[in-house]
Structure formats: C-alpha cells, structure tokens
Amino acid sequence: MIVVACPGQGSQTPGFLAPWLELDGVAEQLAAYSEAAEVDLVLHGTRSDADTIRDTRIAQPLIVAASMIAGGQLVLRAGRHPDGLAGHSVGELAALAAAGVIPGLDAMRLVGIRGRAMADAAAHAATGMSAVLGGDADAVLALLDELGLAPANYNVAGQVVAAGALEGLAKLAESAPRGVRVMPLQVAGAFHTSYMAAAVDTLRAAVDDLTPHDPTLTLWSNRDGAVVTDGRDALDRIVTQVSSPVRWDRCMDSMKDAGITGFIEVAPAGALVGLAKRGLKGVPTVAVKTPDDLDAAAALLNGEAA
C-alpha cells in the first residue's frame, strides 16, 4: 500500500510555487484556485516573503493548492492513484479533494474560509503554539494541563505540540523537565484548541452547502486515525478538527496496520516525511518538494524502490 500525505501549516517557504508554474496548465489552475480562495496564490507563492506567507489567511490556501497541484501531477506521471490518502491539519482538505469527496475548487473555497475564520478567532487572545520534544508522555501532558495549555498535535512518539496563552507557553519553556526541548512555532494562534470555537461555527456553515461523495480511496482522519468511508462524515471531521487535536500518530499507526509499503509527501513537503522516518521506520519515503521529485515519487507509487 502506497500512501500520499498532504502537509499542514508551517511547511510553506518563500517562492516554493515558482517551479510548479513552469508545468503546463498549472498557471491556469492557480488562477482558478486563487479566485475560489480569494487569495493571490501566484503572488504569494512566488514573490511574497516569509512573514507574509506565515499569515494564516495566506498560508492555508497556499499549502492546499500546492498539495493538490503536486498530487495531480504525480498521478499523471505515475499513471495511477495512490492506495491511501491522509492530510495533516489543513492538509486534510487536499486529501479530501484527492479522494473525490469534494471538487478541488470547493476545497479551495473552504480553505479560504477556514484560514480567514481561524485568523479572526486567533485575534481575540494572545495565543500560540510550541513543539515539545522528548520526555515522558504522561508527564508532559500533566505539565501542559497544570499550565492551562492543550495538546494540539500528537505528531509521533516523543513529539507533542502545545497550544494556549503566550504566558503559559513561556512558563512551559522555563519549566521544561530535563531532556525536554520546547520550540516556539511561528503561528499566530492556538490552533486545534477551544480557542478556535468561532472558526468551527463559520466552517460548519460553509460545508452545509456542499454535497459530498464517499471517498474513492482509503482516507484516514486526523481525529482518531480511523478510515473514513462516508463523505458527509469526512466533511464533519474537517469542521471539528479545527478545534480538536491532530492525531497524526494514530494516522501512522493505522497506516502500519494497513500494511503501508511506501509514503509520499506532496508539496510543500518535508515535515511529514521526517515524522514518517520515526513513526514508520523502514518504509520508503519520498518528499515531493519540486517537480524534479516527481519521477522518484512516481517510481515508488509504481512499486519501485525509493
């Protein structure tokens, strides 16, 4: 089983869309995606600086558009679809589109709404997120609770992302147990926590207008790592994950149980392949960062060694 994974916020870098625009049809795709998301993807994906594309309103549409373009090019190059799909956080929207649950333009419309709603929710309080690396899992979670913080992402054993008030995150960095590193993340909000409740309501109203289809490929959910087979359930999970933890650790566990034999991360790639090397040890991986990586990814998708 070959799985394609779509990354989440934070994986974007300045200019990362430029090489994709050299491929036939991509400029037209991005123009349509820009209109749907209400974001100038060409401008921000080729010329905007790191601070600009860190803005949640811009970052989320950029990432989903890149994943859908890279994923589509991979299928064309390989001549086949992957066996399974998953997306980390906002990447779930790209995964839903690839699985046929919703059209790509609807995914872009939703990610534009999602990005704006989450940015608005984050503006109500001074919050943020920090990666917590190492330490005993139970002890780390107990410390987060003591400081009024929430675990927003369970990425892999030994790596949790804490979210909440900036004051609490500062105390976490000061009181981290021996062997634990706390790394502040460049995001403006406590995503995947109760701070995002208002964004949930906004996104739910948007998905209520859609008529989803059941996934055509195996599709794993961030909520609990379960395989989702119902299109309406898939959309509901997209809504509720905005204020609930990302369980990427459980997604990888489910992939192992399904007999994964290859893991491909589409653009803007890198972070999930890094997690896969720890959580899916021995499984060949390819990170599709630019079109130059498509041949290696297509070879893996067709059963050849990475």
Cα angle value 73/41/292 (rounded, 5°): 35
Which domains, from first to last, does the chain contain? 2-122+193-301 (3.40.366.10), 127-184 (3.30.70.250)
Three-class secondary structure of residue 246 per DSSP: strand
Alpha-carbon distance values, 91 to 166, 210, 241 (Å): 26, 19, 11
- Which of these is catalytic: 89, 243, 244, 254? 89
Show the low-confidence residues of the chain (pLDDT under 50): 306
pLDDT in tens, 290-299: 999 999 999 9
Q: What is the dihedral of CA 140, 285, 12, 241, to 10 degrees?
A: -50
Beta strands in 137-188 (DSSP E): 150-156, 159-165, 181-184
CA atoms within 13 A on the CB side of 5: 28
Sheet with strand 181-184: strands edge to edge: 150-156, 159-165, 127-133, 181-184
- Look at residue 10 in the predicted model and tell me its pLDDT: 85
Using CA atoms, how far apart are residues 119 and 191, in angstroms rounded to an integer?
Answer: 9
Q: Does the annotation count 89 as an active-site position?
A: yes
- Residues whose CB falls within 8 Å of the CB of residue 291, separated by 6 or more in sequence, listed in order: 19, 20, 22, 23, 73
Q: What's the gap between Cα 189 and its chain centre?
A: 16
Query: How many CB atoms within 10 Å of residue 257?
Result: 10
Half-sphere exposure of 121 (CA within 13 A, CB side): 26
The pLDDT of residue 271 is: 93
First to last CA, the chain: 14
* Residue whose structure tokens are 């906002």: 90
Q: Does the annotation count 88 as an active-site position?
A: no
Q: Which of 130, 192, 221, 254 is catalytic?
A: 192
Predicted pLDDT at 305:
56
Give the integer Cα–Cα distance in Å for 82 and 1.
Answer: 8
Work out the number of other CB atoms within 10 angstroms of the CB of residue 113: 20
